[in-house]
Structure 1
Amino acid sequence: MSPFVSKLDDETLRCLVEALNESGQAVSIYDAEDNLRYANKTYQSIFLKGYEGPFTFTEILRYGAKHGVGVRIDDGDVEALIARTLLRRRSVPRKSFETDFLDGRWFWMDHTILPNGWVLTVGADITALKHNERTLRQAHNEAVLASRTDLLTGLPNRRHVLELLDDALAANAASGSSLCVAMIDIDRFKAINDTHGHNAGDAVLRHFGSASRAKLGTHDAIGRLGGEEFLLILPNTSLIDAARIIEQIRQGCAEGKLQDGEVTQSHSFSAGLVEAQPRESRNSILSRADRALYTAKRQGRNRTKLGLQARNPEDPAD
């Protein structure tokens, strides 16, 4: 028989145990009755700080929950965790999983059922990998947010606000609840830029964005379509209430002053407001809101005009 598969002598076994103890991995062995028979230094640092027994799997978990050591329990119910774990603990010969501990570390655990019913668990520290994963996820989320946000106003950009409109129309079709949409255009914006400069124009756009957000509810949305044009989406809102919200935004804009040297310039906007009809498409509702906006501007600006109802798609063609 090869010497590499012969029985371990005492010196080799001592060296093996010492190596396991210093490896940085969390190693434990529980017998068939779930009594802890071996735990290396890392395992002890995670689960057994100050613990004096009894050294059973369930009592070690209870001790950790009570004294703030060991595995993190999201709902805080250690008995429920024990019940779930015991059902699965010997359900398969081998399994691997990741878990996080109350000291902030993450480990990848390899859980093996030995032929005699004992359980060998070896955990590798993956804390650095989890931190990198979290950093990458955060960077990804930030990139997604940047791709959906207008940098000047902080509002959803054209692509994102149109996606929000599609979602609102789908929800409206499913629920039958009311949905109002408004196209908004800052009045005489070119004159503001020409008279006071583009920095002043940018300040107007930023102020409009902040004044709008201050008046909107959690489920409402407003985004910049481009230039000085914005789209307002008001789910579960009647035309009367939508018109009231728009007037509140208008008052907030009128209160804002644009400073450019000694010149103070207030700003206003025109709005075309419509209520979504059953099965109405994005193009239809935007077209109706745009026509109402054009009417508001043609009639003197600084006002809100209601759009005509969409033609029922089931009606015969004109």
Structure 2
Amino acid sequence: MDEVLNKLFQMHEKTLVLIAAYDGFDRLRYANAAFRSAFFIEPEETPFWSELMRRNFQARRGTIIRDPDFEAWLISTQSRRGKVGFRAFETDLFDGRWLLMTETVNSDGWMLCIANDITGLRADERSVRQDRDFAMKAAHTDELTGVANRRFVMARVDDMLQRRDAKDAVLGCLGVLDIDSFKSVNDRFGHQVGDVILRDFARRIHGLVRRTDCFGRVGGEEFVLVMPGTSLEEAELIVGRMLAVVRSARPLVERADFSYTFSAGIAAGRPGDIAASLYAQADKALYSAKLAGRNRIHVAGSLLGRSAVGG
């Protein structure tokens, strides 16, 4: 077996095909010579994907990112990256190459990336496929906040409930997050400020989302967090950290004393559940959190909501 692995490694290092592997935290754990060359990675480096993209964007090398707002592009891209078992897309590099890239994701979150140079294809054919990729991205993205939209995030709920590799009775958890007293924010400060709060909330929560999870806006001030392979206890800890981060936020420069909170309901998905019923359980738990005073988590089936884990 060692001989086979050595041969594979040697072949990977010599091939012109770009090959890389990222772990569940989106840190690069392996990249062959072709991949390292295309994205300017030193042999012993293991950067996070976001760090790699940010430094290449600043240096105008590697992947061409046409959005001038890198952070907005990053949120939008990470909202879809690694959320499905397989996807294929095309991208162009500053050096003039056009790549067809595939991402294959294991149940533990590890991702295999393979890219082939398709520069030789006709430019008009590439343009048609790029337009298709942009349209698909738009169809899965919430326009205001840049995170996944209802269609994409609810499809991930279905994926979680259809898992066949679960080792226990819980397939994962669904959290429904709702900004507290949001109507009063709009009434008091106007919808423009309300939009600022929505974007601030999405950005702060997204920064705490694991790559194996999926976070999206399903409408108004309501968001959903899909956590495959996660127990209720783990899910509550994750959302508890989010509560603490949002509590400390001061998003309005002209109103330094303004703060806001959110409430959350969490439910566990089990074999036989369907997305609609699981969402209803989490939504009912959210309602209980609101009735209990807001600014807290309620777990479906529990008697009490908590203002924060450890808080």
CA contact (8 A) 1:200 1:260 kept: no
**SS of corresponding position for 1:258:** coil
Which residue does 2:175 correspond to in 1? Answer: 182
Residue equivalent to 2:251: 258
Residue aligning to 2:81: none
Q: Which moved more, 1:256-265 or 1:267-276?
A: 256-265
Task: Verify the 8 A CA contact 1:176 1:278 in the aligned structure 2.
Answer: no
- CA apart distance, 1:161: 0.9
Aligned with residue 263 of structure 2, among 258, 270, 274:
270
- Tell me the equivalent position of 1:44: none
What residue ranges of structure 1 are gaps of 5+ in the alignment?
1-71, 77-102, 107-125, 310-318
Change in Cα spacing, 1:240 to 1:142, as seen in structure 2 (3 Å) is: same
Q: Does 1:304 align with 2:297?
A: yes
TM-score (norm 2): 0.57
Give distance in 1, aligned partners of 2:247 and 2:160: 29
> Aligned residue for 2:87?
none
Q: How does 1:129-278 map to 2 (within 5 A)?
A: 130-171=122-163, 173-177=164-168, 178=170, 179-259=172-252, 261-262=254-255, 264-278=257-271
Q: Give 1:65-76 correspondences, 5 Å limit.
A: 73-74=16-17
User: What is the distance in 1 between the residues matched to 2:150 and 2:96?
Assistant: 41
**Percent identical:** 38
**What CA distance in whole angstroms lies between the structure 2 residues aligned with 1:269 and 1:229?**
10
2:250/2:256 contact within 8 Å kept: no
String of CA shifts for 1:73-115, please: whole Å, max 9, x gaps.
5389xxxxxxxxxxxxxxxxxxxxxxxxxx9899xxxxxxxxx
Q: CA deviation at 1:258?
A: 2.9
What is the TM-score of this pair, normalised by structure 1?
0.55
Question: If you compute each CA radius of gyration, which structure gives the higher value, 1 or 2?
Answer: 1
Cα deviation, residue 128, structure 1: 7.6
Kept in 1, the 8 Å contact 2:161–2:271? The answer is no
Q: 1:199 to 1:260 in 2, by over 3 A?
A: farther
Verify the 8 A CA contact 2:186 2:193 in the aligned structure 1: yes
Q: CA deviation at 1:285?
A: 0.6
Q: Which segments of 5 or more consecutive residues in structure 2 lack a partner in the other structure?
A: 1-14, 19-31, 33-94, 99-117, 303-311
Higher relative contact order structure (alpha carbons within 8 Å, sequence separation ≥ 6): 2
How many residue pairs match? The answer is 193
Q: Residue 239 of structure 1 aligns to which amino acid in structure 2?
A: L
Structure 2: distance between partners of 1:180 and 1:203: 28
Q: Is contact 1:149-1:155 (8 Å) kept?
A: yes
Whether the 8 Å CA contact 2:217–2:223 is kept in 1: the answer is: yes
Residues 1:219 and 1:73: Cα distance change in structure 2 (over 3 Å):
closer
Q: Which amino acid aligns with 2:224?
A: L
SS in 1 for 2:226: strand
The one-letter amino acid of 1:221's match is C
Deviations 1:212-234 (A, max 9, x none): 11111111111111000111111
Q: Amino acid of the residue matched to residue 249 of structure 2? A: G
Q: What is the CA-CA distance between 1:252 and the residue it aligns to?
A: 1.8
The CA deviation at 1:174 is 4.7
SS at match of 2:266: strand
Q: Work out the CA distance in 2 between the residues paired with 1:129 and 1:232.
A: 40
* Alpha-carbon contact 1:220-1:233 (below 8 Å) kept: yes
Q: Quick check: 2:166–2:229 contact (8 Å CA) kept in 1?
A: no
